[in-house]
Amino acid sequence: MGKALMIGLLLGGLVLAGCITPVSPARQVWCDHNQARRPSARVVAAMSRPELDEVNAYNGKGARWCGWRP
């Protein structure tokens, strides 16, 4: 009985670990309609600090919300 309980607890923990928090519909729409901004090195060199900050904030939001990778 003890081994069966331990296996059940282990498998239950694995199932819970694989759960994903549901994404809000608004967030999903944003992810479906946007993509990462990847300007070339030449464009980055010409951008102002506020423009760079905006692109970085936008890409950061996409990384958090949509799982974008650098």
| Triad 55, 58, 60: Cα angle to 5° | 105
Which residue, among 34, 42, 41, has the nearest Cα to 63 in the 3D structure? 34
pLDDT of residue 17: 52
Cα separation, 57 vs 63, in Å, equals: 10
- Model's pTM, two decimal places? 0.64
Helices vs. strands in the chain: H and E counts, helices first: 4, 0
Q: What is the pLDDT along the chain (70 residues), one digit of tens a residue?
A: 556 555 555 555 544 555 566 778 999 999 999 999 999 999 999 999 999 999 999 999 999 999 999 7
